[in-house]
Structure 1
Amino acid sequence: MKAKDYFEQALKAGMENSDLFYMLGQTLIKLEQPKLAMPYLQRAVELNEEDNEARFQFGMCLANEHMLEEAVTNFTEVITRDPQHADAFYNLGVAYAYLEKKKTKHLRCWVKPLTCSLTICWHYMRKS
């Protein structure tokens, strides 16, 4: 039996747990089925609004399905909760670029991940 089957069995047994929905969503993403993962990730976010990783992955699925406005909303929420989430900044910039909105705004979104990366490198080199 595969992980997906175990997670689905737990759902059928009536478990209503944000981690379960997140793990099933992640499993479907790993199986290259992001469209099927969307409702599970959405439910994970509904059950635990503080779960930034579930929200980010939900945003990624939305973006992959060309639901860019919704993806922007989720990426923005992730950044609000974690201003150092470089992947959310980057993907927010990509979504804005595809939406052809606020052309200068999406460029600023790409600067933040670079700044985060440079800061991490600087701290790493300083410790060496």
Structure 2
Amino acid sequence: MKQYGIMITRQRKWMLYLLAILILGAGFTPYLRIFLGLLLGSIISFYNLYILQKKIYDFGEAVVKKQSVKGLGTVSRFAAVALAVIIALQYEDYFSVKAVIIGLMTSYIVIVIDFMVFKSKD
């Protein structure tokens, strides 16, 4: 589980770097709607990544202890995505809906890139 903890920390760090870049993009470029949409989607994606990592850790602990296993929080993650889309649709002057949807995928992109980079080192 130690290696899993290192992977979690690494992925969260990359997501925070990405969020910082999006904040800079929103502040210093003329594409405010796009960067705000990406930022909103990425924040929800980061929240979903956190929930998923926590649930997977709890799942692993329950399996090791031979306890009953609870779900992986799919409903709460879908609800967060729905909330992001509703916010984007309600405030279309501030958020690009397409950018929000792209931003919702950022944690999965970070996971895949993290896997490819650190798998190639092994």
TM-score, with normalisation over the residues of structure 1?
Answer: 0.28
TM-score, with normalisation over the residues of structure 2?
Answer: 0.29
